[in-house]
């Protein structure tokens, strides 16, 4: 019998100083109309990439994934590497020819502009390249000596598609993969990420800057002038992890539990890097709320359909609105989380009533790991630990 669904939702309130972390084609910070008000927006793609980069920091280099059009070049480099380094020791021409033949069963179209690249980005694990080379079973040199027709026939007998459709690294298991040319390579993402929106109305501002030519002693004029657009905002960020899909994508229960915990950590700590040197905008959240559901995910952005005004501080008002929305969803729709965990540093006596006590973030991550582990073992969700609650009160 299929294991019941388990959704780990992460709701974050985070304030950014003047910044431009995600801009459109004209350089303007991305925006959206919501609730009739202009909001700051950070695209889901921008924050997913930032999360993936943060997640990869904890991975061994060999276990990481890469998204690239250069799979043929990477495979050729592996084939040309010495046997002692995991390669086949082929010369460059042989390696290129054999790499092209190995990728032929995947049906990946080549770029019309650059022959050495594929037509689109492919997301795969570096160990999956090793799996492709392992299919050669030490016969790389012999295969490279065959005619094109003979080589093609030999490659057809190898499970090339299987090598890239199994043994996924955690990054591919989390964020998925879509390959239009060969559906067998598709991986359903275990993670969905919403566009981050400000909880309040914003307006774009302009920073006029000048740069001085240090070697110019003839006049006092600027060497360069320009403007950078920016805004500041308190953002509501939301992502949901389907633990059931993650388990399907990965090889073991332990790998699933570890990836789930590290995803929550990476999503919380990640930050897009647009104009980072100019604004030094990296902050940590005011609130991290984890809700665990077994029926369906619920994005709580409706809490901010009416923009908060900030009369008592944007972060505090936003947290109160989020708590009210979580309570309202439960009473109106009967959709109450099976577990609620939170880490926050906000001055409001009302928050513990809805979110529970504020836990140290490390404790929150441990609790996420425990509940995913218990669910993987016997499909149950453990009650909140008394010691974790006490830790939050101290």
Query: Would you give per-residue pLDDT tens digits along the chain (394 residues)?
Result: 566 899 999 999 999 999 999 999 999 999 999 999 999 999 999 999 999 999 999 888 888 899 999 988 999 998 998 876 767 888 899 999 999 899 888 887 777 778 778 877 889 988 888 898 889 988 899 998 999 999 999 999 999 999 888 889 999 999 999 887 788 889 999 999 999 999 999 999 999 887 887 777 777 777 788 889 999 999 999 999 999 999 999 989 999 999 999 999 999 999 999 999 999 999 999 999 999 999 999 999 999 999 999 888 899 999 999 999 999 999 999 999 999 999 999 987 899 999 999 999 999 999 999 999 999 998 888 877 654 445 444 4
- pTM of the predicted model as reported, rounded to 2 decimal places: 0.90
Q: What's residue 226's pLDDT?
A: 85
Q: What's residue 59's pLDDT?
A: 84
Instruction: Report the 10 Å Cβ neighbour count for 364.
Output: 23
Task: Say whether both 210 and 280 belong to one domain.
Answer: yes
Is residue 72 assigned to a domain? yes
Q: What's residue 387's pLDDT?
A: 47
Q: What's residue 170's pLDDT?
A: 94
Got the DSSP string for 32-80? EEETTEEEEEE-HHHHHHHHHHHHHTTS-GGG-EEEES-HHHHHHHHHH
Element (H, E) at 148: helix 148-156
Q: Rounded to the nearest 10 degrees, how much is the dihedral formed by the CA atoms of 79, 84, 86, 89?
A: 10
Task: Say whether both 111 and 258 belong to one domain.
Answer: no
Task: Say whether both 148 and 281 belong to one domain.
Answer: no
Task: Say whether both 236 and 373 belong to one domain.
Answer: yes
Instruction: Report the 10 Å Cβ neighbour count for 274.
Output: 19
Task: Say whether both 117 and 23 belong to one domain.
Answer: no
Is residue 222 assigned to a domain? no
Task: Say whether both 14 and 97 belong to one domain.
Answer: no
Contact 256, 250 (CB under 8 A): yes
Task: Say whether both 203 and 337 belong to one domain.
Answer: yes
Is residue 252 assigned to a domain? yes
pLDDT in tens, 155-212: 999 999 998 888 899 999 999 998 877 888 899 999 999 999 999 999 999 998 878 8
Is residue 220 assigned to a domain? no
Q: What's residue 60's pLDDT?
A: 84
Task: Say whether both 193 and 135 belong to one domain.
Answer: no
Task: Say whether both 255 and 197 belong to one domain.
Answer: yes
Q: How many domains are there within the chain?
A: 2
Q: What's residue 106's pLDDT?
A: 85
**In which domain, by residue range, is 100 found?**
65-168
Cβ-Cβ contacts under 8 Å for 47 (sequence gap 6 or more): 193, 196, 237, 267, 270, 272
Is residue 2 assigned to a domain? no
Element (H, E) at 115: none
Task: Say whether both 159 and 72 belong to one domain.
Answer: yes
Is residue 223 assigned to a domain? no
Phi, psi of 4 (to 5 degrees): -65, 160
Task: Say whether both 113 and 39 belong to one domain.
Answer: no
Q: What's residue 208's pLDDT?
A: 87
Q: Report CA-CA distances (Å) from 106 to 117, 180, 183, 245.
A: 14, 11, 10, 24
Tokens of 7: 């959704």
Q: Rounded to whole angstroms, how far apart are CA atoms 199 and 310?
A: 10
Q: What's residue 176's pLDDT?
A: 94
Cβ-Cβ contacts under 8 Å for 91 (sequence gap 6 or more): 80
Task: Say whether both 93 and 113 belong to one domain.
Answer: yes
């Amino acid at each position: 019998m299929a294991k019941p669904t388990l959704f780990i939702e992460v709701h974050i309130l985070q304030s950014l100083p003047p910044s431009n972390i995600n801009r459109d084609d004209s350089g303007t910070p991305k925006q959206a109309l919501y609730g009739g008000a202009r909001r700051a927006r950070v695209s889901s793609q921008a924050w997913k990439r930032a999360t993936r980069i943060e997640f990869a920091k904890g991975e061994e280099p060999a276990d990481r994934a890469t998204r690239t059009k250069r799979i043929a070049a990477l495979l050729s480099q592996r084939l040309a590497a010495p046997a002692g380094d995991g390669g086949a020791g082929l010369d460059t021409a042989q390696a290129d020819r054999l790499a092209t033949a190995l990728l032929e069963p995947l049906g990946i179209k080549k770029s019309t502009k650059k022959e050495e690249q594929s037509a689109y980005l492919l997301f795969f694990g570096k160990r999956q390249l090793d799996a492709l080379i392992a299919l050669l079973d030490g016969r790389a040199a012999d295969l490279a000596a065959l005619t094109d027709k003979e080589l093609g026939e030999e490659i057809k007998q190898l499970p090339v598609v299987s090598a890239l459709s199994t043994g996924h690294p955690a990054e591919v298991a989390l964020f998925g993969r879509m390959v239009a040319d060969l559906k067998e390579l598709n991986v359903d993402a275990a993670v969905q990420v919403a566009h981050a929106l400000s909880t309040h109305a914003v307006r774009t501002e302009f920073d006029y800057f000048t740069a001085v030519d240090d070697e110019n002693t003839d006049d006092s004029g600027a060497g360069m002038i320009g403007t950078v657009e920016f805004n500041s905002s308190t953002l509501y960020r939301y992502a949901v992890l389907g633990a059931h899909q993650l388990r399907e994508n990965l090889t073991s229960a332990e790998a699933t539990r570890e990836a789930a915990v590290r995803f929550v950590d990476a999503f919380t700590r990640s930050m897009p890097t647009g104009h980072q040197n100019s604004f030094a905008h990296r902050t940590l959240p005011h609130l991290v709320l984890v809700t665990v559901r077994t029926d369906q995910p619920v994005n709580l952005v409706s809490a901010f359909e009416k923009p908060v005004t900030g009369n008592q501080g944007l972060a505090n008002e936003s947290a109160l609105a989020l708590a009210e929305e979580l309570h309202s969803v439960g009473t109106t729709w009967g959709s109450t989380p099976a577990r609620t965990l939170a880490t926050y540093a906000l001055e409001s006596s009302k928050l513990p009533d809805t979110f529970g006590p504020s836990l140290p973030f490390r404790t929150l991550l441990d609790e996420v790991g425990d509940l995913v582990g218990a669910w993987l073992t016997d499909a149950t969700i453990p009650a909140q630990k008394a010691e974790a609650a006490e830790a939050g009160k101290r």
